[in-house]
Amino acid sequence: MSLERIIQGSIAVLLGGKSAEREVSLQSGATVVAALESLGLSVTQVDPADTDWLEQLAHVDVAFNALHGPGGEDGVMQGVLAALNIRYTGSGILGSALAMDKIRSKQLWQGIGIPTGGFVTLENDTNWQNVIDKFGKVFVKPACEGSSIGMTSADNAADLEAAFRLAQEFEGEVLAEQFLSGPEYTVAVLGGKALPSIRLETDNEFYDYEAKYLSDDTRYHCPSELSAEEELEIADLALRAFDSLGCSIWGRVDIMRDRKGVFYVLEVNTIPGMTSHSLVPMAAAAAGMDIAALVRSIVELSLEAQS
């Protein structure tokens, strides 16, 4: 059955918003709009930064959520759409909220035995030297931001406190996560299945905002050069981490591998980027899906789950 018959009227694409990831969301939204229009759908673009955005949703039956960060990816917008009886793409309220909160995600994974790096929640009165003594080098990040925004590294007490002050400028708590030395991978999830993994290489210290969205020097390896057995292992780990948070439909799981070959889950993204540099479209292409097919699948899976 065609999407035109499933969706009566127009589909709204939520994009932009007010988070620190607004510019990325505008790019993701533009990609989704073009894909939906190529599928023959009438598309309305809705930016929650507009004062009348709720009025713009008055006659919308389905929303493709392309918002990144707080307010769009953390369960808030999902709750608004549910209250308005508007069907939407991606994870529900609980999965969105848990995945956005890196501290609660890691606490849950530790509790059920999913490998994730050691961490500590930072406070104003934290003993900075004790953290360095325990973990050595750490990455400091806001607990409820994405795209590596506000994230810096520290290997001494002075730099750790400075990194904390920077991360404090963003929403939510702040955590210091144990530095893991080794290759970084990402695994896209679609409809309960893992797509081919991607190995990331950057000349930056880590896969930061510049490496993700601005640099043309970041290298993406897909296939990721893992053995068939290792590919099954990383896919299983990604699906367990994704499912454990109550996430559904689609998303992306970021994973590090240490020098001993052990995989560790970093975080789950429930609304990954859909820009020209984004990883889920890349993984989908490796599985034989272009952008239009990927977007169509996300919409169909979401509507099926909410029918």
Pairing between β-strand 43-46 and β-strand 11-14 as defined by DSSP bridges: parallel
- Catalytic, 254? Answer yes
Which among 19, 65, 91, 147 is annotated as catalytic? 147
Task: Answer yes or no: 269 catalytic.
Answer: yes
Active site (annotated) includes residue 276:
no
DSSP string across the chain: --HHHHS-S-EEEE---SSTTHHHHHHHHHHHHHHHHHTT--EEEE-TTSTTHHHHTTT-SEEEE---STTTSSSHHHHHHHHTT-EESS--HHHHHHHH-HHHHHHHHHHHT--B--EEEE-TT--HHHHHHHHSSEEEEETT--TTTT-EEESSHHHHHHHHHHHTTSSS-EEEEE---S-EEEEEEETTEEPPPEEEE-SSSSS-HIIIII-S--EEESS----HHHHHHHHHHHHHHHHHTT--SEEEEEEEE-TTS-EEEEEEESS---STT-HHHHHHHHTT--HHHHHHHHHHHHHHHT-
The active-site residue out of 252, 257, 296, 302 is 252
Set 16, 17, 21, 161: catalytic member: 21
Active-site annotation holder among 199, 267, 278, 302: 267
CA distance 17 to 67: 7
Q: Which of 213, 224, 244, 278 is catalytic?
A: 213
Q: Considering 65, 197, 269, 278, which one is annotated as catalytic? A: 269
Residues 6+ apart with CB under 8 A from 215: 202, 204
* Torsion sign, CA atoms 208, 212, 215, 218: positive
Angle between helices 93-100 and 76-83 (to 10 degrees): 170
Whether 136 sits among the annotated catalytic residues: the reply is: no
Indicate if 273 belongs to the active site.
yes
155 is catalytic: no
Catalytic residue among 88, 254, 257, 264: 254
For this structure, is 267 an active site residue? yes
Active site residue 304: no
Active-site annotation holder among 91, 177, 273, 302: 273
- Residues that are catalytic: 21, 147, 213, 252, 254, 267, 269, 273
